[in-house]
């Protein structure tokens, strides 16, 4: 993007809400290796399951420079000294240890965040010394610092959480409704498309290096602001544009060492290269033992990643009837069991679910990453809001479900559709058609029909180039609905509007009958 376009993009960029500064007390962490990290006064970088992630000075020896301070982000877990209470921390300890192992295995190669130091053995913990001299055993990870002035997490970029920039079609349309400026609209769509492309690239790089980040589709990826702002050009993969994956506990390790089992053969051919697949056990104990810790955000994962969370066997303990349960609860459990059984039968028939008993496992790989990226594209590029989230007060479950689906052409299956449908500008409609087509294909329930991450990236770059070529003038518009006549953009709850056209609803129902059945089963699970 040229200098003028970059300037326009910078001008159009919405400003995030400024979060209050959380001051951290000064303190020191003494690693068992002899390294020392000193906490700085400043903002907390994030919040994990333990203490807040903070910025620190890590003193370590560097060749020819002696002991030198480097900036590092510190994630820590305070250990209970009481052995009985520490036993309750077993899962948190295991997950922090697994995160450090994954960071070490990936070696800091893009797109993974770099590990600097770690103490994750609870038998030999690091020591946290508070400013008042009190000492506490901690497990901790020191990693490269991704400073807030240079990076933004994707859930904020896409406006899925308060305080973000709001690069999604609903927020973008609301700003266009206020300004009526088509050039600002074009620049904001450029930023949105670049952000989606960088997420796709991150997953391409992760899969190539042997990792599938289950929880990296609507969060846990940091994007460089310089690329979003146009200060630095976005380059096609395999160039490293600077995006980084964080919170690596739930990365599934792909490759030859994860694809063998006494009760399974090779992965289905449509899953792609065996080096980019893994057989994930359904037994939680085996998941922990093999370092394939399951965990992801609901409504932001592929069907096969939903199923790896449902344990092994025909009827898990959580779905078995219990004495004293109401008839309603038992009926719900029976319905869930039936839906789960139907999905399992289908996956077994297609060679995805293999093995018996505690040896059951599900093949996952690059197609799951394609689906997850497709869900993000649908959320930010067609719905204009996150797919996940609890029902709002007074919201009907079925109506909410209807709005979180999209038609076979990729458009939202809701009364108000996509907010940009109301903007009759050629370049907007061309971009929207491209984005909807990408989402529709990538989120196909059948793994073999989703295409590849390269397909998704190529299509996003094509949409980006079309935007960059566009010159939004009055001559490019036809029947443009100006904000003053078209009315304000629908609010976040506009999908509750009454009077949905019955003919449109019937057409949508006919188009999606088969896909809806599968998604309803997955939704129940």
For 154-212, what is each residue's pLDDT tens digit?
Answer: 999 999 988 778 999 999 999 999 999 999 999 999 999 999 999 999 999 999 999 99
Residue 490 has pLDDT above 50, yes or no: no
The share of the chain scoring above pLDDT 90, in percent, equals 55
336 closest CA partner among 318, 358, 322, 352: 318
Residue 9 has pLDDT above 50, yes or no: no
Residue 272 has pLDDT above 50, yes or no: yes
Three-state secondary structure readout of 16-58: CCCCCCCCCCCEEEECCCCCEEEEEEEEEEEECCCCEEEEEEE
352 closest CA partner among 284, 448, 443, 288: 448
| CB contact at 8 A, 472 and 466 | no
Which strand ranges, in their side-by-side order, compose the sheet holding 221-224?
A: 151-153, 221-224, 244-245
pLDDT band at 21 (very low <50, low <70, confident <90, very high): very low
Residue 127 has pLDDT above 90, yes or no: yes
Q: Which contiguous run of DSSP H or E holds residue 505?
A: helix 502-524
List, for residues 33-60, the tens digit of each pLDDT value: 999 999 865 457 777 666 788 889 999 8
| CB contact at 8 A, 75 and 96 | yes
CATH for 151-469, options being 1.10.3720.10, 3.40.50.300, 1.10.510.10, 3.40.190.10? 1.10.510.10
100 closest CA partner among 31, 38, 199, 40: 31
The full set of domain ranges for the chain reads 26-144, 151-469
Bridge partners, residue 38, by sequence: 28, 57
Three-class SS of residue 149? Answer: coil
What is d(CA 113, CA 106) in angstroms, rounded to the nearest whole number? 9
Of 98-112, 373-387, 415-429, highest mean pLDDT: 98-112
pLDDT of 419: 93
Work out whether the CA dihedral 453, 458, 463, 465 comes out positive or negative: positive
List, for residues 476-485, the tens digit of each pLDDT value: 443 344 333 3
The tokens describing 241, both together, are 């544009």
What is d(CA 521, CA 151) in angstroms, rounded to the nearest whole number? 38
pLDDT band at 450 (very low <50, low <70, confident <90, very high): very high
DSSP for 188-235 reads HHHHHHHHHHHHHHHHHHHHHTTEEETT-SSSSEEEEHHHHTTSS---
List, for residues 411-446, the tens digit of each pLDDT value: 887 767 899 998 999 999 999 999 999 999 999 999
pLDDT band at 13 (very low <50, low <70, confident <90, very high): low
| Residue matched to tokens 């997953």 | 203
Residue 225 has pLDDT above 90, yes or no: yes
Distances (CA, A) of 231 to 10, 146, 375: 9, 18, 28
Residue 513 has pLDDT above 50, yes or no: no
List, for residues 294-351, the tens digit of each pLDDT value: 988 888 889 999 888 888 766 677 777 888 888 888 888 888 888 888 989 999 999 9
The share of the chain scoring above pLDDT 70, in percent, equals 77
Residue 383 has pLDDT above 80, yes or no: yes
For residues 428 and 20, the model is more confident at: 428
Residue 3 has pLDDT above 50, yes or no: no
Domain 26-144 has CATH 3.30.200.20: yes
Of 19-33, 80-94, 250-264, 507-521, highest mean pLDDT: 80-94
Mean pLDDT for the stretch of residues 61-82? 88
């Amino acid at each position: 993007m040229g200098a003028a376009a970059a300037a326009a993009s910078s001008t159009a960029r919405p400003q995030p809400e400024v979060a209050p500064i959380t001051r951290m007390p000064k303190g020191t962490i003494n690693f068992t290796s002899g390294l020392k990290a000193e906490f700085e006064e400043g903002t907390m970088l994030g919040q994990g399951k333990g203490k807040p992630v903070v910025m620190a000075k890590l003193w370590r020896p560097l060749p020819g420079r002696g002991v030198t301070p480097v900036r590092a982000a510190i994630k820590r877990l305070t250990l209970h000294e009481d052995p009985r209470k520490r036993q309750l921390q077993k899962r948190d300890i295991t997950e922090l240890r697994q995160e450090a192992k994954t960071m070490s295995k990936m070696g800091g190669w893009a797109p993974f965040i770099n590990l600097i130091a770690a103490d994750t053995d609870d038998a030999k913990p690091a020591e946290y010394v508070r400013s008042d001299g009190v000492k506490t055993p901690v497990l901790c990870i020191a990693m490269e610092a991704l400073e807030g002035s240079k990076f933004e997490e994707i859930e904020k970029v896409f406006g899925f959480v308060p305080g973000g920039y709001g690069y999604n079609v609903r927020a973008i349309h609301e700003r266009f409704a206020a300004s009526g400026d088509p050039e600002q609209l074009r620049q904001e769509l450029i930023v949105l498309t670049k952000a989606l492309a960088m997420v796709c690239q991150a997953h391409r790089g992760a899969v190539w290096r042997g990792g599938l980040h289950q929880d990296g589709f609507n969060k846990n990826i940091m994007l460089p602001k310089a690329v979003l702002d146009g200060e630095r050009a976005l380059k096609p993969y395999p160039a490293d544009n600077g995006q980084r994956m964080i919170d690596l506990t739930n990365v599934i390790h792909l490759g030859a060492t994860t694809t063998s089992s006494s009760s399974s053969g090779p992965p289905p051919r449509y899953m792609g290269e065996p080096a980019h697949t893994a057989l994930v056990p359904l037994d939680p104990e085996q998941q922990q033992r093999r370092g394939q810790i399951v965990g992801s955000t609901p409504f932001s994962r592929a069907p096969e990643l939903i199923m790896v969370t449902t344990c092994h066997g025909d009827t898990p303990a959580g779905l078995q009837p219990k004495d004293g349960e109401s008839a309603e609860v038992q009926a719900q459990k029976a319905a869930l069991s039936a839906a789960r059984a139907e999905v399992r039968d289908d996956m077994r028939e297609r060679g995805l679910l293999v093995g018996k008993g505690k040896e059951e496992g599900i093949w996952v790989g690059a197609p799951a990453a394609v689906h997850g990226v497709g869900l993000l594209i649908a959320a930010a590029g067609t719905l204009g809001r996150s797919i996940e989230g609890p029902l709002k007060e007074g919201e009907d479950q079925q109506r909410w479900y209807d709005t979180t689906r999209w038609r076979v052409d990729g458009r939202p299956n809701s009364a108000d559709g996509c907010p940009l449908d109301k903007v009759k500008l050629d370049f907007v409609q061309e971009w929207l058609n491209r984005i909807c087509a990408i989402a529709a294909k990538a989120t196909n329930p059948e793994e073999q029909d989703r295409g590849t991450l390269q397909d998704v990236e190529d299509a996003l770059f094509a949409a980006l180039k079309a935007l960059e070529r566009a010159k939004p003038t009055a001559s490019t518009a036809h029947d443009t609905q100006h904000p003053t006549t078209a009315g304000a953009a629908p609010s976040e709850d506009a999908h509750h509007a009454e009077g949905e056209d019955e003919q449109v609803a019937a057409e949508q129902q006919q188009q999606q009958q088969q896909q809806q059945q599968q998604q309803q089963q997955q939704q129940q699970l």
